[in-house]
Amino acid sequence: MVEVKADHVMDACGLYCPEPVMLLHNKVREMISGEVLQVLATDPSTQRDIPKFCTFLGHELIAQDTDDERFFYYIRKGE
The active-site residue out of 9, 13, 17, 57 is 17
Residue 72 sits in a domain of what CATH number? Answer: 3.30.110.40
Instruction: Tally the domains of the chain.
Output: 1
Closest to 62 in 3D by CA, of 70, 51, 71: 51
Cβ atoms of 47 and 1 within 8 Å: the answer is no
Report the alpha-carbon angle 8-10-16, nearest 5.
Answer: 160
Instruction: Determine the distance from the C-alpha atom of residue 56 to the mean position of all C-alpha atoms in its chain, rounded to a whole number.
Output: 14
What local confidence, expressed as pLDDT, does residue 1 receive? 63
Q: Is residue 3 part of a domain?
A: no
Query: What's 51's DSSP letter?
Result: H
pTM: 0.93
Q: Is residue 41 part of a domain?
A: yes
Q: Say whether 17 is catalytic.
A: yes
What local confidence, expressed as pLDDT, does residue 18 receive? 96
pLDDT tens-place string over residues 10-60: 999 999 999 999 999 999 999 999 999 999 999 999 999 999 999 999 999
DSSP codes, 6-45: -SEEEEETT--TTHHHHHHHHHHHHSPTT-EEEEEE--TT
